[in-house]
């Protein structure tokens, strides 16, 4: 069996083999960094790999389009896939072990046991995707148990997912440490996403306006404007500069995803916008430093 000392990319497709390769006897005291993905790799994923390589001795990446997190009518079948290109990118980026299981390998049976994510899943994207985060936490728990990573790396673009996973790891005493990695953006500010390929030419020109609107919202937050005024202005900016349909623009405490209070230490300004063939999400997470002054009715 090829152990973790190999310098070239090792591709593994079964749970049993991966668990054998990453057995603590084979690790020889080395730390393992884990980058879970659904493939169709872009610069955002490569930044996760780069960050993992800075902190850990062995970098494991998974590519698995998880059917458990797609609801009826969602884009599981059309989700972009390019495994051959993904393998080349992973190898070039320095991934040590690439885990590419099938759905049957990950879910050989269904006992009916479910993970209920709680109120964090009932806002933002989760409010219109019932069961989505059940599926996310299900696959994340399985992958954490299989890989047993010292650190796991997640991009901040999927901020609701990140908040749920951080809470899940904390509340259930999972061994891995969650590492936040900043969103990677195109030169015009559009957040890198596998779904950007589904934008048509005019939508692609419009899409950077989403982030520009969030930046103005962040400026208004620093100016201590009310959450309602901040949300309202971001909505107006997106509506004025894109043909997309807004799902939500919301300012919340982070990572609890609850209403902002004077005790909030971090807040998130998040949005989702639907275009013809895809839905884009983006956010800005801000520190409140000395706490946020929540205006009362007389000040608004």
Binding residues for ATP: 38-45, 155-158, 184, 192-195
- Our answer to whether residue 55 is catalytic in this structure is no
- Phi, psi (degrees; rounded to nearest 5) at 292: -100, 130
CA-to-CA separations, 261 to 166, 223, 258, in angstroms, rounded: 21, 16, 9
Annotated binding site for (R)-pantoate: 69, 161
- How many CB atoms lie under 10 A from the CB of residue 158? 19
Annotated binding site for beta-alanine: 69
CA-to-CA separations, 222 to 24, 263, 287, in angstroms, rounded: 48, 16, 10
- How many CB atoms lie under 10 A from the CB of residue 247? 17
Q: List the catalytic residue out of 45, 55, 132, 293.
A: 45
Q: Order of strands, edge to edge, in the sheet holding 245-253? A: 245-253, 266-274, 279-287
Annotated binding site: 38-45, 69, 155-158, 161, 184, 192-195
Burial of 29 from C-beta contacts in 10 A (0-12 / 13-18 / 19+) = exposed
User: Which amino acids are annotated catalytic?
Assistant: 45
């Amino acid at each position: 069996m090829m152990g973790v000392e190999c310098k070239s990319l090792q591709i593994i497709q079964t749970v049993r083999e991966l668990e054998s390769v990453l057995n603590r006897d084979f690790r020889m005291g080395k730390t393992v960094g884990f980058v879970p993905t659904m493939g169709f790799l872009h610069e955002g994923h490569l930044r996760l790999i780069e960050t993992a390589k800075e902190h850990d001795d062995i970098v494991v990446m998974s590519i698995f389009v998880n059917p458990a997190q797609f609801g009826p009518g969602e884009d599981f079948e059309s989700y972009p896939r390019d495994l051959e290109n993904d393998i080349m990118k992973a190898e070039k980026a320095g991934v040590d072990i690439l885990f590419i299981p099938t759905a049957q390998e990950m879910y050989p049976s269904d006992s009916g046991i479910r993970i209920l994510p709680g109120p964090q899943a009932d806002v933002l994207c989760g409010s219109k995707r019932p069961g989505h985060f059940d599926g996310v936490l299900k696959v994340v728990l399985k992958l954490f148990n299989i890989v047993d990573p010292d650190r796991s790396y997640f991009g901040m673009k999927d901020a609701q997912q990140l908040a749920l996973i951080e809470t899940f790891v904390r509340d259930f005493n999972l061994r891995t440490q969650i590492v936040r990695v900043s969103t990677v953006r195109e030169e015009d500010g559009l957040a890198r996403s596998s779904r950007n390929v589904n934008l048509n030419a005019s939508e692609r020109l419009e899409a950077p306006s989403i982030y520009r609107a969030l930046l103005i919202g962040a400026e208004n937050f620093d100016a201590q404007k009310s959450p309602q005024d901040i949300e309202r202005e971001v909505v107006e900016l997106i509506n004025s500069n894109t043909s997309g349909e807004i799902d939500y623009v919301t300012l919340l405490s982070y990572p609890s995803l609850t209403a902002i209070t004077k005790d909030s230490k971090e807040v998130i300004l998040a949005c989702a916008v639907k275009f013809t063939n895809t839905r884009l999400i983006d956010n800005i997470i801000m520190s409140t430093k000395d706490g946020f002054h929540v205006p009362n009715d007389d000040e608004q």
